[in-house]
Amino acid sequence: MGGLLTEADLFGLSWRPIFLLNVPVGLAVLLLGRRFVPESTVRKADRLDLTGMLLSALALVLILFPLTEGHTHHWPLWCFAMLAAGLLTLGAFLRQQQRKRHNAPLIPLSLLRDRQFSGGLSAQLMLGLLCGLFFMTWTLYLQHGLGLSPFHAALAFVLLSLGELAGATVAAKSGGRFARRLPQAGTLIALASMAAYGLQAGRLQADLTLVAMTAPVVLIGLGLGMVSGPLADMSLARVPHEAAGSASGLFNTAIHLGIALGTALTALVFFAATNGSPDAGLNRDAFTSVLWWVSGALALMWALMFCLPRQANSRAD
């Protein structure tokens, strides 16, 4: 749908109308949620940590904005000033959370002392980073490097999504029997498939077709699909009941933060090589170099999973 809307160039807005797809989806969620999701309340709810919310949001903006825009503006002084301010704000946030540790902080820092949760959280961050870096550059490679239309580039994403669906099904049917071995196996499948895709892209250059890339793309999706479900289950398994909301929120934030960081890194590892040029050769070369970064993130994610349980239903590793 996004590919079709981009090709249609509604009102001369290029790709921007793709956000309209969120409107019916959002309305459906609201209506179905009211009908099927039961309400849950507590008699005595904790007060929102508004200061923590403000400090954390401000820190993320101060760090991510210069990483995203720095290359475009040739890294002026204000970029480094914002990064420094962001790190200081992040430090202030952690200090504030430490002072509120007995008074409903936004993030109970004691969670991070648990090896299983902190390792899984770090792996989730790496998953988001490699997805943000890969998907952003992949769509540019498909269109600028291979000359595919937006619609045919979108079909490549459909192939990857089918692989993800298959991987998630495998993970769901395993019922956690393989513990950390399943997501680690998925990571290795994605890593090997990414390497095969990079070799294929380098060998065939502009002659690489959608049909020819089907196998590595589907396998990349399969591997990634085997990761996300088990990773969440095992990372949150030992979290105390009273901290479940904070842990779940932090875990979900990690992947979105990773995606934002990965997207910001495209300025350094992709656009620095292409300089925004539509030249097909430059875009192909830049994308194959990005695959090395993605492979490194996959390898690090695999290593972080050693913090997860070695056996099913184990509460200690």
The token pair at 314 is 């184990």
User: CB-based contacts of 251: which residues, under 8 Å, 6+ apart?
Assistant: 120, 121, 124, 232, 235, 236
Give the tens place of pLDDT for each residue, 10-55.
Answer: 888 888 999 999 999 999 999 999 999 988 777 777 788 899 999 9
> 231 and 127 in contact (C-beta within 8 Å)?
yes
User: Is 60 in the same domain as 33?
Assistant: no
- Same domain for 155 and 238: yes
Output the pTM of the full model: 0.86
Q: Compute how many other C-beta atoms are within 10 angstroms of the C-beta atom of residue 237.
A: 16
Q: Are residues 10 and 58 in the same domain?
A: no
Total count of residues recorded for the chain: 317
The boundaries of the domain holding residue 84 are 49-106
Same domain, 175 and 312: yes
CA 55 to chain centre: 23
- Name the residue among 194, 215, 219 with its Cα closest to residue 298: 194
- Residues 174, 228 share a domain: yes
- What is d(CA 285, CA 61) in angstroms, rounded to the nearest whole number? 31
What is the pLDDT at residue 54? 95
Q: What is the pLDDT of residue 313?
A: 59
Give the pLDDT confidence score for residue 241 in this predicted structure: 85
At 317 the pLDDT is: 42
Residue that has been written with the tokens 């002026």 in this structure: 76
Q: Are residues 235 and 316 in the same domain?
A: yes
- Single-letter amino acid, residue 316: A
Residue found under tokens 């290593």: 303
Low-confidence ranges of the chain (pLDDT < 50): 314-317
pLDDT recorded at residue 314: 47
66 vs 155: CA distance, rounded Å: 33
**Contact residues for 130 (Cβ-Cβ < 8 A; gap 6+):** 258, 262, 294, 297, 298, 301
Query: Each residue of 61-104: pLDDT tens digit?
Result: 999 888 888 877 888 999 999 999 999 999 999 999 999 888 88
pLDDT of residue 111: 87
